[in-house]
């Protein structure tokens, strides 16, 4: 199949060009290209970016197919401009064996809308007691390169040390959910003025920062590779800056919701705003935006966390933490980083595609927009404005904290190795 994107702006820059895609590859870039027998897609003024890579997605299969499946999550990813996602290991059964990671990998391939890379658990059953068989998962067909107990912190420093040592041998990365559990027992909201006013037990910033600091020291000591999941506090940014300056093998992600929302939203007591780590203060939001622009925080990851109505439409303290993210990520990043002029579209390509692909070691994702490169692409309408409706999403669940919000910019087309996977809000293939 071949396609010609007519009149796009590469990274939103320069003069409009045509991009010809043949056999899964960008074959030509230039003005006024002859379409031959290619399907022509009129894309005047649209911004062409490399397809997005999400290092942190909960697809819920196996185990909670009532909330999301590999098929519905892949559809949401394609609609959001993603060409690769990393499916977190906190499924049922947990992705801590070759059997489970290969199952997820195979299902993702069968669906074929996005490359689904299973994340392997660091510890057996996410219990934090014994290392899972990292080597077996790495050598499996799924070729696991990202390991995480996300949802749980690898709390035991000896286990974390060993995991980081393995990461070196396996050319992998350990993605840590940084939460000192002894400091967050019963926690419901960011520890601070809002939580006190609402009578909610606090989740202090130091619970994240203490683990990030410890893990950066361990990563430096072992020479292993650490990735910090969903950075949420100003203090974590300070620790990361310090650790990177002394040559630590550490990278970090921030979620779209932590770039936009604050704990002031909790006044409604609507559990759609309950998430782990919790929404923080506007000071944290500003620090996270600046850190992403500067590169201290490397990339954006959604932490797409679908939940069933019975787990969200309930009393705050019994609601599960987590929010949808795949279909709103680009627009929230546009709102928080592009409209504010903290990043241009080339910067968006860096934080949503290039850096996550590098961190996970994906050779064919996050590549430059150039002839001969694989056609993993996201086409964005920079002038679109749209209103978020969770019920319209491809996800089975609809727990979006952005419901009813008007957001800028929208993904209009996604291509995976030259095949259109989403176009004008519809999934293809």
Ligand X SMILES: NC(=O)N[C@@H](CC(=O)O)C(=O)O
Active site residues: 303
Query: Is residue 305 close enough to count as binding ligand X by CB under 6 A?
Result: yes
- Chain-centre distance for alpha carbon 62: 20
Q: Applying CB under 6 A, which part among 95-103, 241-249, 309-317, 320-328 lies near ligand X? A: 320-328
CA dist., res. 167 & res. 161, Å (int): 10
CA dist., res. 50 & res. 375, Å (int): 8
Query: Is residue 151 close enough to count as binding ligand X by CB under 6 A?
Result: yes
Nearer Cβ to ligand X, position 126 or 411?
126
Backbone angles phi, psi at 320, to 5 degrees: -85, 145
DSSP 247-293: T--EEEEE-HHHHH--GGGGGG--GGG--SSPP--HHHHHHHHHHHH
Q: Confirm whether residue 258 is marked as ligand binding.
A: no
Nearer Cβ to ligand X, position 305 or 394?
305
- x/- binding map, residues 175-214, to ligand X, per CB under 6 A? --x-------------------------------------
Query: Is residue 303 close enough to count as binding ligand X by CB under 6 A?
Result: yes
Query: Is residue 59 close enough to count as binding ligand X by CB under 6 A?
Result: no
CA dist., res. 30 & res. 316, Å (int): 55
CA dist., res. 362 & res. 258, Å (int): 26
Nearer Cβ to ligand X, position 89 or 142?
89
CB of 277 to ligand X, least distance (A): 8
Nearer Cβ to ligand X, position 18 or 68?
68
Q: Confirm whether residue 103 is marked as ligand binding.
A: no
Q: Are 263 and 192 in contact (CB under 8 A)?
A: yes
CB of 380 to ligand X, least distance (A): 26
Query: Is residue 58 close enough to count as binding ligand X by CB under 6 A?
Result: yes
Contacts within 8 Å (CB) and 24+ apart, 62-69 = 62/91, 62/92, 62/93, 62/100, 62/103, 62/104, 63/91, 63/92, 63/93, 64/91, 64/92, 64/308, 66/308, 66/396, 67/306, 67/307, 67/308, 67/396, 67/397, 68/306, 68/395, 68/396, 68/397, 69/396
Query: Is residue 397 close enough to count as binding ligand X by CB under 6 A?
Result: no
Q: Applying CB under 6 A, which part among 126-134, 196-204, 316-324, 338-346 lies near ligand X? A: 316-324
CB of 108 to ligand X, least distance (A): 18
CB atoms within 10 A of CB 271: 22
Nearer Cβ to ligand X, position 58 or 350?
58
CB of 189 to ligand X, least distance (A): 12
For the chain, the straight-line distance linking the first and the last C-alpha, in angstroms and rounded, comes to: 13
Nearer Cβ to ligand X, position 320 or 346?
320
- x/- binding map, residues 78-117, to ligand X, per CB under 6 A? ------------x---------------------------
**For helices 234-245 and 282-294, angle between their N-to-C axes, nearest 10 degrees:** 30
CB of 50 to ligand X, least distance (A): 26
Q: Applying CB under 6 A, which part among 240-248, 317-325, 345-353, 354-362 lies near ligand X? A: 317-325
Q: Confirm whether residue 423 is marked as ligand binding.
A: no
What is the footprint of ligand X within residues 258-277 (CB under 6 A)?
275-276
CB of 1 to ligand X, least distance (A): 36
**Tokens 């499946």 correspond to what residue?**
69
Nearer Cβ to ligand X, position 27 or 328?
328
Structure tokens at 122: 């660091």
DSSP 26-78: EEEEETT---TTSEEEE-TTPEEEEPEEEEEE---TTT-TTT--HHHHHHHHH
Q: Confirm whether residue 58 is marked as ligand binding.
A: yes
From the list 429, 426, 413, 427, the residue with the least C-alpha distance to 6 is: 413
Q: Confirm whether residue 273 is marked as ligand binding.
A: no
Query: Is residue 253 close enough to count as binding ligand X by CB under 6 A?
Result: no
Which residue positions form the known binding site for Zn(2+)? 56, 58, 150, 177, 230, 303
Residues that bind ligand X (CB under 6 A): 58, 90, 150-151, 177, 275-276, 303, 305, 320-322
Residue list for the binding site for substrate: 58-60, 90, 276, 307, 321-322
């Amino acid at each position: 199949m071949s396609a010609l994107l007519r009149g796009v702006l590469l990274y939103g820059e320069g003069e409009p060009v045509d991009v010809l895609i043949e056999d899964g590859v960008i074959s030509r870039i230039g003005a006024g290209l002859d379409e031959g027998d290619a399907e022509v897609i009129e894309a005047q003024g649209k911004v062409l970016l490399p397809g997005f890579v999400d290092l942190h997605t909960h697809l819920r299969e196996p185990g909670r197919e009532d909330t999301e499946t590999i098929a519905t999550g892949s559809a949401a990813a394609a609609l959001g401009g993603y060409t690769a996602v990393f499916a977190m290991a906190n499924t049922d059964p947990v992705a801590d064996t070759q059997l489970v990671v290969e199952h997820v990998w195979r299902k993702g391939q069968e669906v074929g809308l996005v490359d689904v890379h299973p994340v392997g658990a660091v510890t057996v059953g996410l219990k934090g007691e014994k290392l899972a068989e990292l080597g077996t998962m790495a050598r499996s067909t799924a070729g696991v390169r990202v390991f995480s107990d996300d949802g749980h912190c690898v709390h035991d420093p000896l286990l974390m040390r060993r995991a980081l040592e393995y990461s070196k041998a396996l050319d992998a990365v350990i993605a840590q959910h940084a939460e000192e559990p002894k400091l967050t027992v019963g926690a419901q909201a960011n520890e601070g003025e809002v939580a006190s006013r609402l009578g909610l037990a606090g989740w202090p910033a130091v619970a994240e920062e203490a683990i990030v600091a410890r893990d950066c020291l361990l990563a430096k000591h072992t020479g292993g590779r650490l990735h910090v999941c969903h950075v949420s506090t100003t203090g974590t940014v300070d620790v990361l800056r310090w650790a990177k300056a002394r040559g630590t093998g550490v990278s970090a992600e921030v979620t779209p919701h932590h770039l936009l929302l604050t704990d002031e939203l909790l006044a409604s007591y609507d559990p759609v705003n309950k998430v782990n780590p919790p929404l923080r203060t506007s000071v944290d939001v500003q620090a996270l935006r600046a850190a992403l622009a500067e590169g201290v925080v490397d990339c954006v990851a959604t932490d797409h966390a679908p939940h069933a109505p019975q787990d969200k439409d309930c009393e705050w303290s019994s609601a599960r933490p987590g929010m949808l993210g795949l279909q709103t990520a680009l627009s929230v990043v546009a709102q928080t980083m592009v409209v504010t002029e903290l990043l241009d579209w080339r910067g968006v390509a860096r934080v949503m595609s290039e850096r996550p692909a590098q961190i996970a070691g994906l050779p064919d994702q996050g590549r430059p927009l150039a002839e001969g490169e694989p056609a993993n692409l996201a086409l964005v309408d920079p002038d679109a404005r749209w209103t978020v409706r969770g019920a319209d999403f491809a996800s089975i669940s609809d727990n979006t904290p952005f419901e009813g919000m008007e957001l800028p910019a929208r993904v209009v087309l996604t291509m995976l190795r030259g095949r259109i996977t989403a176009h004008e809000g519809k999934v293809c293939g």
